[in-house]
Structure 1
C-alpha cells in the first residue's frame, strides 16, 4: 500500500502533520528569527550563509551555521549571557534540519521574555519561575507516552514512536542537556534539539506547544523525509492558500486515546 504523498509530483505543495516529521521547510534565518532588526538588533550573514543576530544589550546571541561540508547538517544555536562577552549561562542547539516553524516559535517566545525583562524589574531570562511540567503537559494531553526512570530522567514519546522529548529532572551537575527532543527514528532522527541547564522552562514550553500544534505545515513533497512519510497525516494537494486555513485529513485508523484533533 502506498502513501498518498508518494503519488504526488515532488514539487507539489502539501499540508502535513505531525510537525516533528514534516521536514525543515525553508531554512532562512530571517524566517526563524522574528527580531526587530530595524530597532537595534544587529544581524549579519556571510556569503557562506552563516548568520548571527544579537540583542541590543548583547546578552542574547543566536546563530545559524549551515556547515556546508556536511550534507544535511548544520546547527542553530541560542546563547544567553548574564553580561556581554561572558560564558553563556544557558544554551539551546537545534540541528539545521529542525522544522523552521519550531525555531520561529521558540525565538518568538525568547523575544517576548527579553521585552518583558527590559520593561520590568524581572530577569526571567535567567530566573524563570515556570515549572517544568508546563513544558511536558501539552505532550501528555496529546497522547504522548510517559516513562520515568530512577536515573533521574523521564521520556515522552509520540503515539507513533517517531519523536520524543527527554527531561533530566534530577540535575546532577553534569554538562549533559536537561532537555532533549528529536523527530524520526530514535537511532537516526531527522533532527535533534539540546537544551542546557538554566534555560527558562517558558522557552521549553513554547517549543513543546509548537511541536504538538495541530496547525499543519506547508511543504513540497520532495521536502518531506521519505523514511517516515507513512506516519504523516496529509491534506489534499493544493496551490498556496492563506496560512492555517486548510483542513487536515483525519489520522490513520486506531486512534490513540487523548490525542487532540
Structure 2
C-alpha cells in the first residue's frame, strides 16, 4: 500500500543500495561486510557514509554521513539517522549530497564546507505543508507536523560545535520512533533536502508490518496494492497538495 505522512511510515526497505544513489559503477566506492555493516566513500576520500545495522535495538542501528576537509582527517560536520528513519528521507539527503559534490567538483565553489544557503530554505517546505512554528527564548525554534507526531528543532543562535544544530524526529515527542541529527557546519542545503522530503505529500510504499504499531492509526492510505477483502475499512485519501520538489 501507499501511505502518508512520511514521518510515521516506518523505515521501509532500508538497505544501502536503496539509500545511496552514488555511481558505484564509476568512481564511488562501497564496502559491505557479511554482518550487514556498509560504508561508501567519494573519489576524493573527503565524503563518507556508513550503515551500522543493529536489528535487536529499538531503532535498529545508525546511518552516518560525514565530511572531512582532508582525507581521513577530523570530521568537519556529521549527520546521523536512526536506522528506523524512513528510507526516502535518507535517499533524498544522499542525492543532494551527491549533487553538492558534483557541483563543487566542477566549479570553484566549496558548498560542502562553506554553504551560504539561508536557514529559511529549510523552513520553507515545512511552512508550505502547514507545520506549526514556535520560537523559544533559549535560542531554538521548533516546527511540528499538523498531527503533532513529527518535528524539527533548529538551534539558530549556536556559535559552536557542541550538539546538533538541527534535530528531527517522528512519533510521539516523548518516545520518538526515529531521530535525525545535523551537526554544526552541516550544509543547510542538505537540511533543506531533508525537510522537503520529510514534508512531501508523495505517498511511500509500505507493507502493514513496516508501519510502527503505535502510530499506524494516524496514517492515510493513499492506494492499496491488493484487492480489499469484504468488510474492510474504506481507503482514506491523503491530504491534498503538490508533489515534492527539489530545494534548489
Match of 1:249 in 2: 237
Per the alignment, residue 89 of structure 1 pairs with 76
What corresponds to 1:254 in structure 2? none
How far is 1:68 from its partner? 4.0
**Contact 2:42 2:48 survives alignment (8 Å):** yes
Q: 1:174 deviation in Å?
A: 4.6
Q: Is the counterpart of residue 121 in structure 1 residue 108 in structure 2? A: yes
Task: Name the residue aligned to 1:198.
Answer: 185
Q: Secondary structure at the match of 1:89?
A: strand
Q: Which residue of 2 aligns with 1:243?
A: none
Contact 1:128 1:202 in 2 (8 A): yes
Q: Shift in Å at residue 38 of structure 1?
A: 1.2
In 2: Cα distance, 1:260 partner to 1:155 partner: 23
Q: CA deviation at 1:39?
A: 1.1
RMSD: 1.7
Taking structure 1 as reference, are residues 225 and 69 closer, same or farther at Cα in structure 2, changes over 3 Å only?
closer
Unaligned runs of 5+ in 1: 1-13, 240-246, 252-258
Aligned to 1:148: 135
The within-5 A match list for 1:2-17 is 14-17=1-4
The equivalences for 1:180-195 within 5 A come to 180-195=167-182
Of 105, 130, 153 in structure 2, the residue corresponding to residue 166 of structure 1 is 153
* 2:198 corresponds to which of 211, 219, 222: 211
* TM-score between both structures, scaled by the size of structure 1: 0.86
Deviation at 1:101, TM superposition (A): 0.6
- Secondary structure of 1:38's counterpart equals coil
Which has the larger share of strand? 2
Aligned to 2:220: 233
Q: 1:70 Cα deviation (Å)? A: 2.5
* Number of residues of Structure 1 aligned to a counterpart in Structure 2: 235
1:181-213 per-residue CA deviation (whole Å, 9 max, x = no partner) reads 000001111100000010000000000000111
Q: 1:71 to 1:178 in 2, by over 3 A?
A: closer
Shift of 1:172: 4.1
Q: Measure, in 2, the Cα distance between the counterparts of 1:82 and 1:169.
A: 24
TM-score (normalised: structure 2)? 0.91
- Residue 54 of structure 2 corresponds to residue 67 of structure 1: yes
